[in-house]
Amino acid sequence: MAATRSDPLVVKQLDFLGGMASVTGWRPDTGLPEVAFAGRSNVGKSSLINVLVRRRAAARISRTPGRTREINFFQVNADFVLADLPGYGYARVARAQREEWRPLIESYLRGNQALRGLVLLLDVRREPGAEDREMLDFLAAEDIPTLVAITKIDKYGVAVGAERVAAIVAALELDPDQVLPVSARTGAGRDELAQAVVDLLR
* Residues in contact with ligand GDP by the rule CB under 6 A: 39, 41-47, 87, 151-152, 154-155, 183-185
The rounded distance, in Å, linking the Cα atoms of 16 and 105 is: 19
Closer to ligand GDP by CB, 20 or 85: give it.
Answer: 85
Q: Taking the complex as a whole, how short is the minimal distance between the CB of residue 62 and ligand GDP, in angstroms?
A: 8
The rounded distance, in Å, linking the Cα atoms of 144 and 164 is: 25
Taking the CA of residue 5 as centre, how many other CA atoms within 13 Å lie in the half-sphere pointing to its CB? 8
Closer to ligand GDP by CB, 42 or 178: give it.
Answer: 42
Taking the CA of residue 159 as centre, how many other CA atoms within 13 Å lie in the half-sphere pointing to its CB? 0
Q: Taking the complex as a whole, how short is the minimal distance between the CB of residue 113 and ligand GDP, in angstroms?
A: 27
Q: Taking the complex as a whole, how short is the minimal distance between the CB of residue 109 and ligand GDP, in angstroms?
A: 18
Closer to ligand GDP by CB, 103 or 187: give it.
Answer: 187
Closest CA to 184 of 55, 76, 48: 48
Closer to ligand GDP by CB, 17 or 43: give it.
Answer: 43
The rounded distance, in Å, linking the Cα atoms of 178 and 136 is: 12
